[in-house]
Copies of this chain bind each other. A is one copy, B any other.
Amino acid sequence: MQDSRSKPCSCPSLKLREVASMYFTMVAAFLVILVVALQGSAPRESHFPYKVPLDPQGLLELAWNVSYPEQAVHFQLLIRELQFGLLFGMSDRGEFENADLAVLWSDGHNSYFGDAWSDAEGQLHMDSQQDYQLLGARRAPEGLYLLFRRAFSTCDPKDYLIEDGTVHLIYGILEKPVHSLQAINASALRGGLQRVQLLKPNISTPELPSDMKTMEITAPNVVIPSQETTYWCYMAELPAGFPKHHIIMYEPVVTAGNEALVHHMEVFQCAAEFDSFPHYSGPCDSKMKPERLNYCRHVLAAWAMGAQAFYYPEEAGLAFGGPGSSRYLRLEIHYHNPLVFRGRRDSSGIRLYYTATLRPYDAGIMELGLVYTPVMAIPPGEDNFTLTGYCTDKCTQLALPAAGIRIFASQLHTHLAGRKVVTVLSRDGRERQVVNADGHYSPHFQEIRMLKEVVAVFPGDELITTCTYNTEDRSRATVGGFGILEEMCVNYVHYYPQTQLELCKSAVDPGYLHRYFNLVNRFNDEEICMCPQVSVPQQFYSIPWNTFNRDVLKSLYGFAPISVHCNKSSAVRFPGEWEKQPLPSITERLPEPVPRCPPAPGPQPAAPVPLNLGQLRR
């Protein structure tokens, strides 16, 4: 289809070249010349600030940029070793079924690009609306670059809606020629998933001062264990007498070649009450790890794959050093090694940028959400159970300065059953603003994220954090707690100016939970021992989970008064009555966002775009 608005392709005409595949003897080389009318505008410059490897070998590398004016993402996919095409796309939680896919495929003679979707069985179908728009292809020594564009929202019900928060990207390799897109089953392909925050906030980076210094907290010369998952712990130390400084920026230092293995890294400061901490470099779950390292839990810096440098706002910095601050730091690195490479060496870590010229405000970190207590529990077999923690008006009234605080970043946290997290700011009973939301949250991808907009919180405001859990694979109740099979619902918000309020969380009143246990005892005909001398988890474990007991637990959590933890540092509550507090009442909800649909992209073929393929050699 020739469109009068088409621009000629600016890519060089590509020549045939054979590419040897590492894994297959049937080697195919795609040489792709773009002959179709280009849809949409090609990116103005080859500027893709965000980059992430898709596969553990780094053979597929995705770079992208985000255009908020256009409400679209431009992708540049580098395919180092092309066989008979590939699938790239998005799905709710990284599954290959019900996915939204851009597909490049070859029947051995011709090759095509199209927008497709996979059904509940993984079977591919051509999408009636073609929303992955091919912009170009470029051949380079390192591989084939494919450029395409996708609007955040397409209003096609078969398409994925690109939202803030985590996006589960998937890829699949076509290792054989396919005669049509309909012949592909995504679930049967070799492939994988990668989690990224696709919609990076569009915020300018503050200028850095001239007296800035850097410090690398890296674990030198680690041999990455030959197992899928390792959490590596390494102890570092600030110089003796290191005075108070402000961390104003930090960035990852990833050993070249290990980009696909270093999944995330965090630097924790140890507790100031201990004078010294032992040295250690080894797995965090090792029996050899000194017990005391568990007292190094105050986050200084956190990075996850796909994230860039983290800048503090220009008015604030994170204090470290000086009296009352431990000299000891713990670096934790999550190595993700699914192909079980052996003997790979790594010296990754985080580079801190800090200054002695203190900024006007110390930054602080506050915990919102649920108290770590078993009274908040999730029945087994739930696909979509929510728990909510409240930071109440009474607490913010007491603990926040009149001028308020500014939240500029947020890190969401649950354990393995967590699926969504959202914190909403409410004032006078009306929801005002989403502080941070992740509708595709994964406990395996916990970044500190800069907020698109700084959120001002004033005395009397309420911060309401709701987590959604899936316990379909569990046979007994999941209670709140520290264990990996227990649950948490936390939003660590980064803000300034620092206040004494370190924790503003809640849990259901235990007296009302006892009434629930009694009610379950009386209502159900069963003879269950739910005597009060039994622990709360034991009582939850003995409940027969029929729909009534499930529903009434939900109703209880939505009705019963709460116990509020409005705490200063070192677990000391602010003075006041914090038990049996009323639940904040919300009289006005934020409207559901209505997806903005892009203007109709002009006459579009609801058919694959044919590509001129050079000769195919075997």
A547-B558, A548-B556 known; A157-B594 Cβ under 8 A: yes
Chain B residues in 8 Å Cβ range of A46:
none
Other than the given A547-B558, A552-B552, A555-B555, 8 more pairs (CB < 8 A) read: A157-B594, A515-B522, A518-B522, A519-B523, A547-B555, A548-B558, A551-B558, A552-B555
* Measured CA separation A558–B600 after assembly (Å): 44
* A546 interfacial contact with B, CB 8 Å: yes
* A482 interfacial contact with B, CB 8 Å: no
Chain B residues in 8 Å Cβ range of A515:
522-523
* A554 interfacial contact with B, CB 8 Å: yes
Chain B residues in 8 Å Cβ range of A548:
555-556, 558-560
Counting every copy of the chain, the complex holds 2
* Measured CA separation A110–B473 after assembly (Å): 67
* Measured CA separation A556–B555 after assembly (Å): 12
Residue interface mask A15-28, B partner, CB < 8 A = 1: 00000000000000
* Measured CA separation A282–B555 after assembly (Å): 52
Residue interface mask A547-568, B partner, CB < 8 A = 1: 1100110111011100000000
Chain B residues in 8 Å Cβ range of A523:
515, 519
Q: Which residue of B lies closest to A550 (CB)?
A: B555
Residue interface mask A419-462, B partner, CB < 8 A = 1: 00000000000000000000000000000000000000000000
Q: Which residue of B lies closest to A560 (CB)?
A: B548
Q: Which residue of B lies closest to A548 (CB)?
A: B559
* Measured CA separation A552–B515 after assembly (Å): 14
* Measured CA separation A111–B252 after assembly (Å): 66
* Measured CA separation A594–B594 after assembly (Å): 17
* Measured CA separation A63–B307 after assembly (Å): 62
Cβ contacts A to B, 19 pairs, < 8 Å? A155-B155, A515-B523, A518-B522, A519-B519, A519-B522, A519-B523, A522-B522, A546-B559, A547-B558, A547-B559, A548-B555, A548-B556, A548-B559, A548-B560, A551-B554, A551-B555, A551-B558, A552-B555, A600-B600
Chain B residues in 8 Å Cβ range of A155:
155
* Measured CA separation A552–B560 after assembly (Å): 13
* Measured CA separation A558–B550 after assembly (Å): 11
Q: Which residue of B lies closest to A583 (CB)?
A: B547
Find residues 499-551 in chain A having any chain B CB closer than 8 Å to their own CB: 515, 518-519, 522-523, 546-548, 551
Chain B residues in 8 Å Cβ range of A560:
548
* Measured CA separation A555–B548 after assembly (Å): 6
Chain B residues in 8 Å Cβ range of A559:
546-548, 551
CB distance from A561 to the nearest CB of B (A): 11
* Measured CA separation A42–B554 after assembly (Å): 55
Most B CB contacts (10 A, CB to CB) among A155, A157, A552 go to: A552
* Measured CA separation A558–B551 after assembly (Å): 9
Chain B residues in 8 Å Cβ range of A546:
559
Q: Which residue of B lies closest to A559 (CB)?
A: B548
CB distance from A600 to the nearest CB of B (A): 6
Chain B residues in 8 Å Cβ range of A554:
551
